[in-house]
Structure 1
Amino acid sequence: MTTSFFADTCQTTPPLVSTNDFTETTPERESVKVVIYGSKKGVNNTILTLYKLGFAQVNEWSPLLPSSNPGEVMSILTRHILTT
């Protein structure tokens, strides 16, 4: 099922995503965050799967951070997208 989800999101035009570490938001740029919650193994496996699918480099994700639930961690990916 994951494969069909990504197949539907393929673009034929250049992506409107910038991976520069530019934190200021301008009228043409917006910061968006992708967060994964789960066990250490689950979060790491998901990050690796998303890397294999070409979604993000492994080093673009934050280190594993504790979540508010015991035994659960999270990792955050921040992207800056063009809005124009």
Structure 2
Amino acid sequence: MTKSFLADAFQATAPSVSSSVLAETIPNRESVKVVIFGSTAGVNNTILTLYKLGFAQVNEWSPLLPSPNPGEVMSILTRYILTN
């Protein structure tokens, strides 16, 4: 069976930067979080689909995390937007 070239990207972690550091250094910015809940396959497929649509790079998402619901996982994407 062939291995997807993006399969390892799910294991990569983005550099850790505190949101408070970003908020202090760049005024008029706020963080917005996008969260995907579902099965492991469902979350991974959604991340890949959003990547193909140009929404976010695969490695910008958090590693798969346990969800409050049994049998589910979640992944979080944090974006910073300009505010007025």
TM-score, structure 2 as length reference: 0.70
Q: Who is 2:51 aligned against?
A: 51
Runs of 4 or more consecutive aligned structure 1 residues displaced over 4 Å after TM superposition: none
Q: Say how many residue pairs are matched.
A: 64
What is the Cα deviation at residue 83 of structure 1? Answer: 1.1
> Aligned-residue CA RMSD in angstroms?
1.4
Return 5+ residue gaps in structure 1 as ranges: 1-20
Q: Which structure: greater helix fraction?
A: 2
Matched, 1:79 2:75: no
Where does structure 2 lack aligned partners over 5 or more consecutive residues?
1-16
Give the deviation of 1:22 after TM superposition. Answer: 6.1
Please state how far the C-alpha of 1:51 moved relative to its aligned partner. 0.2
Letter in 2 for 1:43: V
TM-score when scaled to structure 1? 0.70
- CA distance in 1: counterparts of 2:69 and 2:18, whole angstroms: 31
- Rounded to whole Å, the distance in 1 between the matches of 2:82 and 2:56 is 17
Percent of residue pairs bearing the same amino acid type: 80
